[in-house]
Amino acid sequence: MTAPTRSRLTVLSGPAGVGKSSVVSYLRDHDPRIWHSVSVTTRPQRPGEVDGVAYRFVSVEDFERMVADGELLEQAQYAGNFYGTPRAPVQQMLAAGVPVLLEIEIHGARQIRQIDPDALLVFLAPPSWEELERRLKGRGTESPDVIARRLAQARTELAAESEFDEVIVNTSVADAAQQLGRLIGG
């Protein structure tokens, strides 16, 4: 019996409000062969979020312990909160030949590129700056100062688009998810 082929790691990144979570959710509902890694974060849980589904919510102390113990594949601070990808489950799924999708921010994507040059980095772009701004403000989940910080960060992140292997413009969640699924599928 031959060992399973190692799958390629795929990273989806882009500015806050571009629709990464919506695209990943659609893809997970329509393509169950793809395993989506659940990131850990120190940010407060938003209404409707379930711990362990979109994120695993941890304290700053727990996050720092995970970093110190080498439990995270990548980690970053974004808009005043910490985010990271648990290492062990990603490695286990890849070793088993399961396609793995990470939904992380730009700094994390750069870290993945350093440790896994074969990873596929996909940038999810908004159709326009105005649409991105509308989406962020329309969430109604964050204060005006947090929205302002996220928009300022988005300008920097949009400039990083050329660092990615592929770019998908999110004009429709279904279309963007289908494009991402095709990229992951080879």
CB neighbours (10 Å) of residue 99? Answer: 20
Q: In the block, which residue shows the tokens 């998908």?
A: 168
| DSSP per-residue letters across 117-162 | TTSEEEEEE-S-HHHHHHHHHHT--S-HHHHHHHHHHHHHHHTTGG
Please state, in angstroms and rounded to a whole number, the distance separating the CA atoms of residues 39 and 86.
7
pLDDT score for 2:
39
Q: What is the CA radius of gyration of the chain?
A: 16
- Edge-to-edge strand order for the sheet containing 81-86? 55-57, 39-41, 81-86, 72-78
pLDDT score for 147:
81
166 touches 183 (CB < 8 A): yes
- Full pLDDT tens readout for the chain, 186 residues: 334 445 689 999 999 889 998 999 999 899 888 999 999 999 999 888 899 988 999 999 999 999 999 999 999 987 789 999 999 999 999 999 999 999 998 999 999 999 999 999 999 999 998 888 888 777 767 788 888 888 888 889 999 999 999 999 999 999 999 999 999 985
Domains of the chain by start residue, with CATH: 9-185 (3.40.50.300)
| Cβ contacts of 2 within 8 Å, gap of 6 or more | none
Helix (H) or strand (E) holding 185: helix 173-185
pLDDT score for 3:
41
pLDDT score for 186:
55
